[in-house]
Structure 1
C-alpha cells in the first residue's frame, strides 16, 4: 500500500517536527486519510527494532480501524491491543483506549514508550489523556508525542498548547476538494431578516449563546422560509440540518413534516437506541431530512448526504468545517448505485459562513504541492509555530484578520484544480488520444476512468482482484478514486513513473496480443502497450459496469 503524495508530504513534515520539537500536531480534515498518515508516521518511528509506540483513541471503532489500517501500511510490525477486553503490550505498536488506560491500575502497566500517537488529538487536553501523556513522559522523558485531528478547536475553548508546541502541517479542506477526494460545496447565505440580531448574540466560553440564537431563529415565519428555500435549491437531496437547541430543532423538524417532507429529530437527550433507530430511517431513505443539535457535528458520515442547512452560528471555523464536512464525502457507487452526487448544497440562514469565509475560497499554499518544510509563522497569542496558511491557531484559537493573512506571501496563491495526472504515483495513459479513456497500471492492479454520456466513471481491477466500479461523477473525483485504488493495491516498487523500462519499445509478447492497427505505431512504449492490453483484456467487464452505472443514474434522474 502507498500514500498519496500529499499524505507523504504531511508524514515527512510531521517526522521533521517530531525530531526538532519532540512533539507536534498535524491536521487533516474529512477524507484526508488520517489513519493512513498516522500509521506511516508511527511505522517510520519504529525503525529501531526495540522501539515501541502506543496509538491512543477514545472509541472502540477507532481502535479497530487504526489497528487494521496500521497493519496494511506496516505489515512487518507486530501489534497488540489494550482496551476493556484485551490488555496486552506485547506488540511493538499497541492500540489503546484512553478510558481504560487512564485508570490508576492500568497507568502503572505502561512500559517505556518511544512514540505516543493521539488520534482525535483535540481531546488531548482532557484529564484522561493528560494522565496517559504525563505517565508516558514520566517513564521516558524523551518520548515523542504526535497528535492528529480534523478539528483542533475544542468545544470548551481550552487550547492544546500545553501538549503541543507546534503544528507540523495542515491539509486544507480546499485541497481535498480540488484534488477530487471531496465534492465541492455550493454555499448560499440567505438572510431571513435575522442577520443583524444574530451578529449581536453574546459569546459564552464555548460558543455563541444558543438560547439567544433560538429566540431569534425559532419562529414560524423563519421556519417557513427555510422550507421554501430548501425546496428551491435542494429538493430531493438527503439533508442534515443543524439547529441551536432541542426546542429549535423540534420546531424545524415539525415544519418539514407539516410541509410533507419526511424528517426525523436527533439530539443528545435521546437514548442510544432511539438515535440509531431514527438515523436508520434517514439512511434507508424513509426520511429525507435529519434535524439535529450538536450530535452529528463530528464523526457521522452518510455519504449520500448532499445538503447541509445551517440554522446556528459558530464561533469556531473548525465547527463550521465539521458541519459542512458531513455532506462533502464522495459516494461509493457499489454501495449506493442510484445516487448521483457531484456537489453539496450549503444553506446558511445565519452568519457562520459570513463570519469565517466561504470554504471554497480557502487560500492555501499547498494547493500547489511543494516538497520540503511548510512555511510557518508564530502565533502572537500562544507563540506556537503553525503553518503560514492558518487563519485560526489550531492550538489556542487565535484568529488572524484577513488583512494579516493577506499581508504574507499568500496573496500570490489561489486554490486551483489539482492535476492528479501529474501528481499521481503512477503514469496515466490517454488510451486513444481523445481524453475520454485513461488508464494506469501497476504490477498487480490497474485503474481507469471513462467518459460516457457526459459522465465520468472510475473502474479498477487486477490480478486476483474483482473488477469493480469505483466512482461515478466528475472527472476529478473519478481520477482521485482510481488513483487511490492503485495506491491501495500496489507498492512503491511498481509505481515509479521514471523507470527506464516504461519508455522502452513493447515486448514481442505484447505485440502479439495488441490489435493489428497498433502494431504499426512505432512510437508506442512498453507501458502504453501494457495499459492498452489491460483495457483490451477487461474491455467487456469495463463496458458492462460503465453502461450499467450510466443506465442506473439515468433512471434515478
Structure 2
C-alpha cells in the first residue's frame, strides 16, 4: 500500500520532529487518512529493530480499525490487541483501548515501550490518558510520543503541552478540498432576526449559555423561517441540524415533520437502540433530516449528508469544524449508487461562521484558541461585519473586487490543484486520446482512469484479480483523487518505482501487436503509455458498463 504524496510529507515531518524533540503532534482533518499516516510514522520509527510500540484509541472499533490499516501499511510488523476481549502484548505493535489499559492492574503488566502513539490526541490531557502516559514514561524515560488529531484545541481549554512540546505538521481543510478528498462548503449566514440577541449571549466555562440560546431560537416563527430558508437553498439534501438544547431540537424536529419533511431527533438521553434506529431511518433515506444536540458532532459520518444547519453559536472553532465536517465527506458511488455530491450547503443561523471566520485552526498547545474572534471588515452595502478573508458578504451578497495581484493568484486555484495532484502522484497519468477527456494510470497490479461523459466526470479502477469498480462521479478533481487512491491502495513503492522506469522505454513489440495499427507508427510511444492504452482497450467494456449505469440512473432521475 502506498501513501498519498501529502501523507508522505506528513510522515517525514513527524519523524524529523520525533528525532529532534522525542515527542510531536500531527494535525489533520477528517478525510486526510490519519490512521494511514500514524501507521507510516510508527512503521518507519520501528523499522527492522526489536523496539516496541503501542497505539492508543478511545473506542474498541477504532482499536480494531487501526490495527487492520496498520497491517496493510506495515505487513512485515507483528501486531496484537489489548482491549476488553483480548489482552496481549505479543506483537511488536500493540493496539490498546484506553479505558482497558488505564486500569491499575493492566498498567502493572504493561512492558516498557519505545514508542507511544495517541490517536485522537486532543484527549491526551484527560486524566486516564495522563495516567497511561506518565506510567509509560516511568518505564522508559526515553520513550517517543506521537499524537494525531483533527481538533487540537480542546473545548475545556486544557493544553496539550505537558505531552507535546511541538507540532510537526498540519494538513488543512483547504488542502483536502483542493485535492478532491473533501467537498467544499458553501456557507450562508442567515439572519432571522436573532443575530443581535445572540451576540449578547454570555459564555460559560464550556461554551455559550445554551439555555439562553434556546430562549432566543426556540420560537415557532424562527423555526418556520429556518425551514423556509432550508427549502430555498437545500431542499432535497440529506441534512444534519445542530440545536442548543433537547427542547429546542424536539421543536425543530416536530416542525420539519409537520411541514412534510421526515425528521429524526437524536440526543444523549436516547437509548443506544433508539439512537441507532433513528440514524438508520436517516441513512436509508426514510427521513431527510436528523436533528441533534451535541451527539453527532464527533465520531459520526454519513457521506451523502450535504447540508449542515447551525441553530446554535459555537464558542470554539474546533466545535464548528466538527459540526461542518459532518457534511464534507465525498461519496463512494458503490456504497451510495445514484448519489451525486459536489459540495455541502452550510446554513448558519447562529453566527458561528461570522465569529470564527474560517475553518482552519491556529494550533495552540497551551490550551487557548486566541481571542475567538477573526479580524473583520464592514460591508459597504449592509454594514455587516464579516471576516476580512471573505470576498462575498454572507448577508447581502456584496462582492469585494479583487486587486490585480490577487486575481493572478486566485484565477488558477482550481486548475493548479489538479496539476499538483497529477504531478505529485506516484504514477504518471496519461491523456489517452489527446482530448483531455480520458486519463489513465497503471501499476503492476492495478489500473485507474478518469473519464468525461455527458457533462460529468467518472473515476473507474480495476486490476489483476480485482473487480472493476466505479470509484467516484462528479467533479474531475474528486474523481482524480479517488482514482489515485485506488492505485495507492493496490500498489507498493516497489511497483510504482518499476512502472516509472517504463516512461523512458519504447513500447515493446508484444504491446504494439495488441494495439491498433496507427500506434505502430508512433515511434515516440513509451512502454508506459502503451500499458495505459492496453489497460483501457482490454477493460473498455467494463469501464463503459460502470459509467453508463450511473449515467442512465442520472437521466432517469
TM above 0.5, yes or no, is yes
Rounded to whole Å, the distance in 2 between the matches of 1:416 and 1:397 is: 32
2:2–2:491 Cα contact (<8 Å) kept? yes
Q: 1:356: Cα distance to partner?
A: 1.2
Write the distance in 1 (CA, Å) between the matches of 2:504 and 2:427.
14
| Distance verdict in 2 for CA 1:158–1:261, change over 3 Å | same
Mean CA deviation greater in 179-188 or 513-522: 513-522
1:426–1:497 Cα contact (<8 Å) kept: no
Contact in 1 for aligned 2:154/2:318 (Cα 8 Å):
no
Q: Which residue of 2 aligns with 1:259?
A: 259
Please give the residue correspondences for 1:256-335 in structure 2 after superposition, counting only pairs within 5 Å: 256-335=256-335
**What is the rounded CA distance, in whole Å, between the counterparts of 2:46 and 2:523 in structure 1?**
49
Q: Report what 1:518 is aligned to.
A: 519
Deviation of residue 30 (structure 1)? 1.0
After TM superposition, the structure 1 = structure 2 runs for residues 440-459 of structure 1, keeping only pairs within 5 Å, are 440-459=441-460
Query: C-alpha distance in 2, partners of 1:124/1:200?
Result: 34
**Residue 306 of structure 2: SS of its match in structure 1?**
strand
The match for 1:207 is 207
Shift of 1:449: 0.3
- 1:490 lines up with 2:487 in the alignment: no
Q: d(CA) in 2 for partners of 1:180 and 1:395?
A: 33
CA distance in 1 between partners of 2:309 and 2:423 (Å): 36
Residue equivalent to 2:144: 144
2:173 match: 173
TM-score (norm 1): 0.91
CA distance in 1, matches of 2:332, 2:369: 38
Cα deviation per residue 1:171-212 (whole Å; 9 max; x = unaligned)?
A: 111110110001111111101111111112111111111111
Confirm or deny that 1:416 pairs with 2:413.
yes
> Does residue 431 in structure 1 map to residue 435 in structure 2?
no
Q: CA deviation at 1:541?
A: 0.5
CA–CA separation in structure 2 for the residues paired with 1:478 and 1:224: 38
* Contact preservation (8 Å) 1:339, 1:553: no
Structure 1 residue 96 and structure 2 residue 67: aligned?
no
CA contact (8 A) 1:242 1:292 kept: yes
Map 1:470-485 to 2 at 5 A: 470-485=471-486
How far residue 416 of structure 1 moved from its aligned partner, in angstroms, is: 2.9
**In structure 2, C-alpha distance between the alignment counterparts of 1:423 and 1:113, rounded to whole Å:** 36
CA displacement at 1:326 relative to structure 2: 0.5
Structure 2: any 5+ residue segments left out of the alignment?
377-386, 389-405
CA contact (8 A) 1:11 1:37 kept: yes
Partner of 2:156: 156
Asked if 1:507 corresponds to 2:504, the answer is no
CA deviations on 1:110-133 (whole Å, 9 max, x unpaired) are 111011001011111111111110
The offset of 1:549, in angstroms, is 1.1
- Separation in structure 1 between the aligned mates of residue 555 and residue 138 of structure 2, nearest angstrom: 62
The 5 A counterparts of 1:455-470 are 455-470=456-471
Alpha-carbon offset, residue 520 of structure 1: 1.5
Aligned equivalents of 1:43, 1:493: Cα separation in 2: 17
Question: What residue is the counterpart of 1:241 in the other structure?
Answer: 241
For residues 463 and 345 of structure 1, what CA distance do their matches in structure 2 show? Answer: 40
Contact 1:187 1:358 in 2 (8 A): no
Offset from partner CA, 1:27-68 (integer Å, 9 cap, x none): 111100000000000101112521000000110110010000
CA contact (8 A) 2:77 2:92 kept: yes
How far, CA to CA, are the matches of 1:554 and 1:225 in structure 2? 33
Q: Is the CA contact (8 Å cut-off) linking 2:201 and 2:208 kept in structure 1?
A: yes
Does the 8 Å CA contact 1:197/1:216 hold for their aligned counterparts? yes
Give aligned pairs, total: 524
Q: Which of 388, 396, 419 is the aligned partner of 2:367?
A: 396
Residue 329 of structure 1: CA displacement?
A: 0.6
Q: Partners of 1:448 and 1:459 in 2: how far apart? A: 5
- Distance in 2 (CA, whole Å) between partners of 1:47 and 1:395 is 33
Q: Is the 8 A contact 1:263 1:289 kept in 2?
A: yes
Q: How far, CA to CA, are the matches of 1:392 and 1:555 in structure 2?
A: 48
Aligned to 1:108: 108
Following superposition, the deviation at residue 394 of structure 1 comes to 5.2
Summarize deviations over 1:437-495 as a string: whole Å, max 9, x none: 00001011000000010110100001111111111110000000000000000011222
Kindly indicate whether the alpha-carbon contact (under 8 Å) linking 2:239 and 2:288 is maintained by their aligned counterparts in 1: yes
Q: Is the 8 A contact 1:183 1:343 kept in 2?
A: yes
Where structure 1 has 5 or more consecutive residues not aligned to the other structure, the ranges are 363-389
**Cα distance in 1 for residues equivalent to 2:356 and 2:363:** 10
Q: Which runs of 4+ in 1 moved over 6 A?
A: 403-406, 411-415
How far residue 499 of structure 1 moved from its aligned partner, in angstroms, is: 3.8
SS in 2 for 1:340: coil
Residue aligning to 1:86: 86
Hey, what's the Cα distance between the residues in 2 that align with 1:163 and 1:91? 25
Residues 74 and 541 (structure 1), Cα distance of their counterparts in 2 relative to 1, 3 Å cut: same
Residues 53, 113 of structure 1: 8 Å contact kept: yes
Instruction: State how far apart, in whole Å, the 1-side matches of 2:276 and 2:241 are.
Output: 17
CA distance in 2, matches of 1:402, 1:422: 35
Give the CA deviation at 1:139.
0.1
- Tell which deviates more after alignment, 414-423 or 129-138: 414-423
Q: Shift of residue 392 of structure 1?
A: 4.6
CA distance in 1, matches of 2:501, 2:128: 54
Change (3 A) 1:527 1:541: same
Secondary structure of 1:80's partner?
A: strand
Report the 3-state secondary structure (helix = DSSP H, G, I; strand = E; otherwise coil) of the residue aligned with 1:24: strand
